[in-house]
Homo-oligomer: A and B are copies of this chain.
Amino acid sequence: MRTKCNDKYDALLEATLKLVNDCGFHDAPMSKIAKLAEVSPATIYLYFENKQDLINKLYIKIKASFSEHAFNGYDSNLPVKKGFETIWYNIADYKLNKIEESMFLSQCDNTPMIDEKARLQGLKHLQPLLDLWERGQKEGIIKPISNYLLYAYTVYPLSFLLAMEQNCLSCLNKDSRLAAFQCAWDSIKV
């Protein structure tokens, strides 16, 4: 499906990202997406099957870039806390620097706008973090609770801080980020 002219493919994804963020899925018609990408509406259908496919592909692409960021510089041989710290700060960085992408993910995750199939595909990237937690639990450093809880109390709160945007992005700034990390670590460490 994806042809040699990646320019248009990418422009379409970018336009979709912007419009869905600003107006919501319900007010991001194909015609507007095409216009913003400087492309004919018909052209969209050369690269994507339909609107759902366009959204799905954007979701998967962003999820992938998110994961790539998350494990940047991470090595599974690091001690548990150090490893967790690396990943957590990476994610905080991503939220702070890739605001559009992060907002889009939030919208997808709280809305029935993504195929179940795409959703699953987006999830499978987190395995290294789950492995790290398992190791931490074996070593008695991390509480013996479900992965869901661990995620809910460490990574997920970052989404809220992002959503509060104007008033709260400061919470993720270099110098005040320590407090946030401390909360995260305190909530899971034994």
Contact = CB atoms under 8 A, between A and B. Distances in A.
How many copies, total?
A: 4
Contact of A24 (B23, B26, B158): B26
B112 A22 contact: yes
Interface string A142-157: 0101101101110011
Interface in A54-94: none
B179 A113 contact: no
Contacts of A164: 148
Contacts of A158: 152
A163 B111 CA distance: 10
A113 B26 contact: yes
A107 interface: yes
Q: Which 3 A-B pairs have the closest CB atoms?
A: A26-B26, A187-B187, A152-B157
Interface centre among A27, A111, A151, A159 (most CB of B within 10 A): A111
A186 interface: yes
Contacts of A182: 143
Contact of A188 (B112, B160, B183): B183
Given A153-B153, A161-B152, A179 B110 contact: no
A10 interface: no
